[in-house]
Amino acid sequence: GAGVSQSPRYKVAKRGQDVALRCDPISGHVSLFWYQQALGQGPEFLTYFQNEAQLDKSGLPSDRFFAERPEGSVSTLKIQRTQQEDSAVYLCASSPGAQTQETQYFGPGTRLLVL
Amino acid sequence: QKEVEQNSGPLSVPEGAIASLNCTYSDRVSQSFFWYRQYSGKSPELIMSIYSNGDKEDGRFTAQLNKASQYVSLLIRDSQPSDSATYLCAVLPSGTYKYIFGTGTRLKVLA
């Protein structure tokens, strides 16, 4: 079956622009995670959704970052007034249920470059 | 001190050898530990998870956990060139959904 998909795969933004990154999790998956991965680093947790509820947003680096999952399926990560330090790969992952130890399935990521 | 520490490598091993990857963590209440493999330009994929002290084997992979020493390792037996990748250690503190990843160890298996 289809895995996690993300779009766009690549995004170039000018500093100060707003961007929206989309994640389509595996159908029926309850849990959805967003991560930011800078070059040469491991993924850093941004936020977690269980269905439509955002249960943890402690990793969002500033109030310029906003995520939503209004119908409990597709999620959007929005970054306002992008800065150069926002350049990274943004990974989305989903898992079947709400148990914390379940396997996360990662999407291919969106590579964001802010000029 | 970082919450999850890994040697960035590269760790080079000859084909057929055992590769040993190590990870230490600082949070004593962490309950769940994971090893992910990430090929260059690709997304992470789960190799192993381990929750109890001791060894857990899956094919050529063995994860070892020592909670007293706050140490988790991954052994890859009969290493193949296709195992060349970055291996990420991840820790999940108890009662949270906030996975904490290390920076990864780059493994090179030389043919």
The tens place of each residue's pLDDT in chain B, 111 residues long, gives: 668 999 988 999 999 999 999 999 997 777 899 999 999 999 999 999 999 999 999 999 999 999 989 999 999 999 999 999 999 999 998 888 999 999 999 999 999
The phi, psi pair for A61, rounded to 5°, reads -70, -25
B34 class by beta-carbon count within 10 Å (0-12 exposed, 13-18 middle, 19+ buried): buried
Show the tokens assigned to B6. Answer: 């890994």
- Hey, are the CB atoms on B44 and A58 less than 8 Å from each other? no
- Hey, are the CB atoms on A56 and B97 less than 8 Å from each other? yes
Q: How far apart are CA A67 and CA A52, in angstroms?
A: 11
List residues bridging with B74 in a β-sheet.
B21, B63
- Hey, are the CB atoms on B97 and A48 less than 8 Å from each other? yes
Task: Look at residue B1 in the predicted model and tell me its pLDDT.
Answer: 60
Task: Look at residue A4 in the predicted model and tell me its pLDDT.
Answer: 96
Tell me the pairing of strands B105-110 and A19-24.
Answer: unpaired
Task: Look at residue A18 in the predicted model and tell me its pLDDT.
Answer: 98
In angstroms, the separation between the Cα of residue A73 and the nearest Cα of chain B is: 18
Which residue, among A101, A102, A110, would best test binding to B if mutated, counting the most B CBs under 10 Å from its CB? Answer: A101
- B108: Cβ contacts below 8 Å, ≥ 6 apart: B9, B10, B11, B12, B13, B84
Task: Look at residue A1 in the predicted model and tell me its pLDDT.
Answer: 57
pLDDT tens string A79-97: 999 999 999 999 999 999 8
